[in-house]
Structure 1
C-alpha cells in the first residue's frame, strides 16, 4: 500500500470528519483531498494537486497561506512562554493587543475580552448582555433575539442563537431564551418587493416579535452585520438604522457578530465602522475572531462600548468568566503580527478595488448563466445563489445532493468552495491577486457549466 493510500486508510479508520461526513467521504480521492500545505491563495494536496481557495480558509485567511512575516513572529515567540500563567496574570502581548484593537475599533469601544474562537466570543457576548441587565435590576431581560440562517457557533448557547435549522435539529434539546426573526432576503420575498424601503419593512419583524414576547423579557439582538455562513446577506439600506431604533425603544442591546467581517473583510477594520458611515448607528457589543490571526492560531474576543463596561465597574460586579486558552501569549503575538502586516501591506485599503473587480466578473457570469438566481455582495464577500432555472426562484428539490454536486465539481476544477443551502459563499483570501480573481471566476464558470449539464441529464433537479 502506498504512503498516500495508507494515509487515506488511516483517516478512514480514525478521523471523524466534521459536519456530518462519514467514512465514505474518503472513498473518492478526487472529492476528499488530503491537504499538505498552502501558499498564498492556494492549498496543495498529497497528490500535488493545487486548489484555489474561494473560502479563504473559512474566512480566516486575511493574509493567505504561509505569510512569512506572521510565521517569523510565531517562530520567535514559541521559545518564550506559550500559555497563560496558572493564575491568569496579565502579560504584555495581551495588553498591547487589547490597546491595538481598541484603537482600530469604532470610537467609544475601549475594553476587550479575549476568547479562543468565534463560538466562545459570541457566548461571552450573550453572557455579558444578560449580566448587564442583572446589574441594572432587570434580570427578566434574558431572552436574546437572533435571525434564522444566522450562525454564531456550536456550543449549546450559540447553537440556540444560530438559525441554521439543519444544524439545530442535531443539537437538541437547545437552551431556552432565544427568539428568531427572518433575515432580509429580497430575492425570495413574495412578488420580489420593491427594494425601496425594504430594509425598514424587514426590520419591523423585530417590533412584532417584541410586542408578542414583551420588551421586559428581551435583552439583546445578536446578528452578523453581513450574514456570512448562511449565504452572504448584507443589511439593505435603512435596515440597521431601524433595528437600532427598535432596540433603543425596547431597552435592548445590539450585538454585532463580526467574527467574519472584522479585520478588513469589508474594506474597513470593522463592518461596524462602515455601518456607522452608512446608517449613523453603532452596536453595543462587537465580537471578532477568524481573520485577527490570519488563521495561524486560535484567538477571538469581545469589544464592548464604554457604557457596558462602566455598568460593571460602577456596580462593583465582575464578569466571572474566562478561557484557559483565551489571550495566550502566542495567540496575542500572532494577532499583533497579523494586524501589523495588514497595515504595512495595505491589505484593508486594497479590498474595495478587489471587491469591485470580483463583483464585476460575477455579475457578468450571472448574466450568461442559466443557474445563478441571485448575487449578493458586501466587500470581499459574495453569495452566488444557484437555482435549477433562473427564470424562476424555485429551489433544487434535493438541496443536499445539489450542494454535494457543487462542492465535488469545484474540487474537480481546482476550486475550494463552501456551499450554504444552495448558495456558494465566495469569501477568498484578502490578499488574492487580480489574476487569481479572474482564475476563480473562470473555475466557477466551469462548475456552473457542469451544473447545467447535470440538470439537463436529470442528475440534478
Structure 2
C-alpha cells in the first residue's frame, strides 16, 4: 500500500472522479478505457511526491509532464506569483506597453542563452511557441523578398505540439489520426534513432545516411522553397530518441549552406533536463537561429512559452515593413506578468541551488542504474541522457519486434509502478522517466527497485495473457 502524503484538504474522491469523467475532455484521452475507468485525480504535491484524492503518495517520475523541474510546492514561486498578482495581475503588452517581469525575464533569457540569441517573443506554452515561430520565420523571408521559402523540414516521430501548425510539424503518425494537417507546408525526414538504425550500419555511417537524406530532400524540393529545419535535441514524446554523435552539428551546417534556418525545439531539453539551461550549444555544439522553450521555463507553475531569436533575424523583424505597419502577431497573454514572475523565481532557485550541477552529477548515475533493467525479458533498450530517459519494451530482443498494440505493455508497466508508489509515463510500448531535477541517489535507487519489480510483474501478466 502506498504511503500517505499528509494534506490540508479533504476531497469526496468519488464525486470528484465523476465530475472529471463527465465534464473534462482530457488531452490524449484513450476513450477505449476512459468511459469506464476515468482518471486518477492528483490533488496534492510536495517536493518529489504527488498524492491522489485518496491521499496515496507517489514518487513523481515525470515531473508533471517534463516540466516541474524544481519540484512541487515551492512557496517562493507561489509567493512571487501572489505578490505580482496583487500588484498587477495583468495588463496588455501590445504596441507601446510592457511590464516589469516580462522585461526582466527577457533580459535574463538573453543572458542565459547562446550569445547571439538576444530577443524574446512570448507565448503561452510549447505548441504556441512553435506555431508562432513558423509564422515569424515566414514573415522574415517575406521581408527579405524570398516569399517562396515556406516549406518547413521536420522529422518523423518528432513532437512539436498540437495546435494546427505545430501538429503538422509533429511527426508521430498516431497523433494526427483523423485530424487534418498542413501537409503543403511540412516535409518529414527520418527520425534519428540509433536503436533502430539500419542493420549492420555503424553510428558514424548512420549519421552520414541521415545527413545525405537532408541533402537529397533539399535538392528535390529546392533550397529556395525551404524556410527552416526544426528539431528537438533529443526527441521527447517520440521515444527519447538519441541521434548519432555529431548529427545536429552536421545538419545545421547543411542548413546554413542552403540559407535554411535551424530551429531548436528545447521545450523539453531546456532548463536543466540535460544539465544546462540550454542544451543546443552546451551539449550538441550547435548555434540555432531560434530556440523555443516552455515547460521548465516556469517549472510548470504557470503557463509560459518563449521563442528566442537571433540578432540577425531581429535586424529584419525589428524593421518597420511599411508606413503604419506593425508586427501584427502575438497573444493576449504574451509576457503575462504573473507567469514571468514565476519564471524569474524559478531561474533564481535553479541558480541558487545549483540544480543544473545536480543533473550533471546525478544524471550519469541515473542512466547507469536504469540500464541494469535490461536483464528483463521485455526490455529492448534503455536510452536517453541525464534526466530524460526511456525504456523500450519489445517482444523479442534479437529482432526488436514489438508486442501487439492490444498488449498495452507500456500501460502495464506504468500500472505496476503506480501500485508500488511511482508514476512513470506510458507511451505505447515505451515508458518514459523524466523526473524533477532534485532527485538524489537514494531516490534513484528506490525508483530503479520499483521499476525492477514492475517489469517482472509485467512479464508475468504478459505470459499469463498469452503475449509472450
Question: Do they superpose with TM above 0.5?
Answer: yes
- Corresponding residue for residue 128 of structure 1: 136
Shift of 1:412: 1.9
| 3-state SS in 1 of match to 2:277 | coil
Query: Per the alignment, do residues 249 and 399 of structure 1 end up closer, same or farther by CA in structure 2, a change over 3 Å counting?
Result: farther
CA offset digits 1:395-449 (Å, max 9, x no partner): 1122672233233223222221222332211111111122111111111112211
- Corresponding residue for residue 44 of structure 2: 37
2:210 is the counterpart of 1:205: no
* Alignment partners' CA distance in 1, 2:327 and 2:178: 31
2:321 is the counterpart of 1:328: no
| Aligned with residue 294 of structure 1, among 269, 294, 299 | 299
- Corresponding residue for residue 308 of structure 2: 303
- More moved, 438-447 vs 139-148: 438-447
| 3-state SS in 1 of match to 2:87 | coil
| Aligned with residue 109 of structure 2, among 78, 101, 119 | 101
Number of aligned residues: 454
- More moved, 405-414 vs 117-126: 405-414
* Alignment partners' CA distance in 2, 1:64 and 1:222: 29
CA offset digits 1:6-46 (Å, max 9, x no partner): 222222222222212339536448xx421111111111011
| 3-state SS in 1 of match to 2:203 | coil
User: Is 1:52–1:416's contact at 8 Å kept on the other side of the alignment?
Assistant: yes
User: Is 1:184–1:202's contact at 8 Å kept on the other side of the alignment?
Assistant: yes
Shift of 1:87: 4.9
User: Is 2:422–2:450's contact at 8 Å kept on the other side of the alignment?
Assistant: yes
2:327 is the counterpart of 1:319: yes
| Aligned with residue 171 of structure 2, among 163, 168, 171 | 163
After superposition, the CA RMSD in angstroms is 1.9
User: Is 1:8–1:26's contact at 8 Å kept on the other side of the alignment?
Assistant: no
- Corresponding residue for residue 22 of structure 1: 31
Give the unaligned 5+ runs of structure 2.
Answer: 1-10
* Alignment partners' CA distance in 1, 2:128 and 2:29: 22
Query: Per the alignment, do residues 382 and 192 of structure 1 end up closer, same or farther by CA in structure 2, a change over 3 Å counting?
Result: farther
Shift of 1:173: 4.7
User: Is 2:21–2:35's contact at 8 Å kept on the other side of the alignment?
Assistant: yes
Query: Per the alignment, do residues 96 and 415 of structure 1 end up closer, same or farther by CA in structure 2, a change over 3 Å counting?
Result: same
| Aligned with residue 272 of structure 2, among 261, 264, 274 | 264
User: Is 2:266–2:293's contact at 8 Å kept on the other side of the alignment?
Assistant: yes
Shift of 1:86: 7.5
Query: Per the alignment, do residues 400 and 304 of structure 1 end up closer, same or farther by CA in structure 2, a change over 3 Å counting?
Result: farther
* Alignment partners' CA distance in 1, 2:126 and 2:313: 20
User: Is 1:400–1:421's contact at 8 Å kept on the other side of the alignment?
Assistant: no
- Corresponding residue for residue 22 of structure 2: 13
| 3-state SS in 1 of match to 2:214 | helix
User: Is 1:403–1:422's contact at 8 Å kept on the other side of the alignment?
Assistant: yes
* Alignment partners' CA distance in 1, 2:367 and 2:65: 20
* Alignment partners' CA distance in 1, 2:293 and 2:356: 16
* Alignment partners' CA distance in 2, 1:166 and 1:158: 15
* Alignment partners' CA distance in 2, 1:459 and 1:338: 48
Q: Calculate the TM-score normalised by the size of structure 2.
A: 0.92
Correspondence 1:54-133 to 2 at 5 A: 54-85=61-92, 87=94, 89-133=97-141
- Corresponding residue for residue 188 of structure 1: 196
Query: Per the alignment, do residues 413 and 391 of structure 1 end up closer, same or farther by CA in structure 2, a change over 3 Å counting?
Result: farther
- More moved, 432-441 vs 220-229: 432-441
* Alignment partners' CA distance in 1, 2:321 and 2:390: 46
Give the unaligned 5+ runs of structure 1.
Answer: none
* Alignment partners' CA distance in 2, 1:17 and 1:310: 41
Q: Calculate the TM-score normalised by the size of structure 1.
A: 0.94
* Alignment partners' CA distance in 1, 2:199 and 2:244: 18
* Alignment partners' CA distance in 1, 2:107 and 2:280: 18
| 3-state SS in 2 of match to 1:266 | coil
Query: Per the alignment, do residues 51 and 307 of structure 1 end up closer, same or farther by CA in structure 2, a change over 3 Å counting?
Result: same
- Corresponding residue for residue 405 of structure 1: 412
Shift of 1:223: 0.9
- Corresponding residue for residue 8 of structure 2: none
- Corresponding residue for residue 460 of structure 1: 467
User: Is 2:152–2:228's contact at 8 Å kept on the other side of the alignment?
Assistant: yes
CA offset digits 1:289-308 (Å, max 9, x no partner): 00111111001110011101
* Alignment partners' CA distance in 2, 1:64 and 1:192: 43
User: Is 2:168–2:181's contact at 8 Å kept on the other side of the alignment?
Assistant: no
